[in-house]
Amino acid sequence: MEASMERFDNAPETALAWHRQGLGAALATVVETWGSAPRRVGAQLVIGGDGRIEGSVSGGCVEGAVIVEALEALEEGQARLLEFGVSDEDAFAVGLACGGTIRVLVEPVGQVLSEVMLAELVAARASRQALAYVVDTARGTRALVRDAYPERMRMDRSGFDEDGRTFVAVHNPPLRLIVVGAVHIAQALVPMARIAGYDPVVIDPREAFASDARFPGETILHDWPDEAVAKLGLDARTALVLLTHDPKLDDPALEAALAADVFYIGALGSTRTHAKRVARMQEAGFTEAQIGRIHGPVGLDIGAAGPAEIAVAILAQMTAVLRGRA
C-alpha cells in the first residue's frame, strides 16, 4: 500500500529511536522531483550511524549514494542538499517507463534536526495532530507549524514554496474510515479504502454481520456506534460512512460526526430515507449547515449497480471531498 506508506511512514519515529539508542541517525527527505521520479516529494529514508537503513527515497536507484552522503553528514554535523538524475535504465529497473531527477535533503538528528523538535513531531503524529515541518534551506532554520498551509495539508502535498528555498513537509495523521454497518457494501468498501491509504474500522453490534470471516484481518468493534466513535475519536482526517439503514444504529454515530470535524459523512438510503434523516437531525437541534455536510444518498452518481460499484462511488466521493473537488 504505497500511498498509505508515503502518507504516514515511520521514518521520524525510527530516526528518533536510533538517535536515542546512541546509534546516530540522519533523515533523508525527497524535497523536489522532475520527470518520472520513483518516490513522491516527502518520502523519507532513515540512515543509522552504522549504515542501517529504513524507508526509501528512490525505490533503490540512489539509496547507496544517499547512505554515503548521510554518513559523511553525520560526521560533519551538517545538512546536505543532494541532487540525483535517475537514468532511464535505472528507472526501468524499478518499474518506471523513463527517468527523472530528485533532490534529497539529508539532516543529521541531534545536530541539524534537534532531538527536541523531532520528539515533538513524533508526539504530534502519535496523537493525530496535523502539522508541517518547515525548513529554510538558505538560512538553515527549522520549525514545526500548526494551522498553516491549508491547501498543502488538504492535498497531502509537501514541497517548496514559491520562494524556492522554503521546504514544507506535510505530516498529516493517517486517513481513517469508520464504517457503521457490516453489510455487503462494507465488505467491498473496506478493502478498497485500505488500498487507497485509509485505516478502516467496522462498527456493528451484530456479531453475525461484523465477523472475522466477513472482514478478515480488519478492526471490528461490536459496541453501539455512539460508544465506538467516542472510543475512536473523530477528527479532520476521518471519514464516516453509515450503511445500516437503521436509525437506531446510524443516528447516534451521525450526531457525533455532525458535532465533530470529520471531513466526510456519507449515509446510505434513498432520497426519501435521507429526507427523514434530515428531519430527525433537525429535531435533534442541528443546523442547516451541519446537516448539509451529510452526503445522502451516499456516493457519486455513477449509475452504480451492486455492492462493489456502490463502494467505488462512495470512495470516489470521499476522495473528491478530501481533495476539495466536491
Q: Grid coordinates 475519536 are at which residue?
A: 233
User: How far apart are alpha carbons 232 and 283 in whole angstroms?
Assistant: 26
Is the distance from CB of 326 to CB of 299 less than 8 angstroms?
no
Name the pairing type of β-strands 175-180 and 238-242.
parallel
Q: Where are the domain boundaries for CATH 3.40.50.720 in the chain?
A: 175-322
First to last CA, the chain: 25
- The closest of 141, 171, 129 to 261, measured between CA atoms, is 129
Q: Are the CB atoms for 297 and 310 separated by under 8 Å?
A: no
| Dist CA 30 CA 67 (whole Å) | 14
How crowded is residue 97: how many other Cβ atoms within 10 Å of its Cβ? 8
> Would you state the cell numbers that stand for residue 193, as one nine-digit string?
479504502
Residues of the chain with pLDDT under 50: 1-8, 94-97
Question: pLDDT tens for residues 259-309?
Answer: 998 999 999 999 999 999 999 999 999 999 999 999 999 999 999 999 999
Residue 95 has what pLDDT? 46
Cα 245 from chain centre: 29
- Chosen CATH of 175-322 out of 3.40.50.300, 3.30.750.80, 3.40.50.720, 3.20.20.210: 3.40.50.720
pLDDT in tens, 160-197: 999 999 999 999 998 999 999 999 999 999 999 999 99
Q: Which three cell numbers stand for residue 144?
A: 514545526
